[in-house]
């Protein structure tokens, strides 16, 4: 089985505006999807990626808002 737990993309919308989008699987839902043994690893991945990508997304949003 395969699934997307983190998504980050930069795209151009139909109006020609450059935008970014960031989403991640809520930690509260991990126990409904993953085995108990896998949850600590997935939590660690979510936390590490959120630290880096979350701040990148915020930065890009501010920069792109200034350009649009």
Does this model's pTM top 0.85? Answer: no
Q: What pLDDT shows up at residue 44? A: 95
- Enclosing H/E stretch for 49: helix 39-49
Q: What pLDDT shows up at residue 68? A: 62
Task: Report phi then psi at 37, rounded to 5.
Answer: -65, -25
Strand partners, 19: 11
Picking from 54, 66, 60, the residue whose alpha carbon sits closest to that of residue 11 is 60
Mean pLDDT of 37-54: 92
> Residue 10 in contact with residue 19, Cβ under 8 Å?
yes
């Amino acid at each position: 089985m395969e699934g997307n737990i983190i998504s980050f993309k930069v795209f151009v919308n139909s109006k020609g505006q450059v935008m970014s989008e960031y989403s991640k699987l809520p930690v509260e839902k991990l126990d409904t999807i993953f085995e108990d043994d896998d949850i600590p690893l997935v939590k660690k991945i979510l936390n590490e990626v959120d630290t880096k990508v979350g701040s990148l997304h915020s930065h890009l949003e501010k920069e792109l808002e200034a350009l649009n």
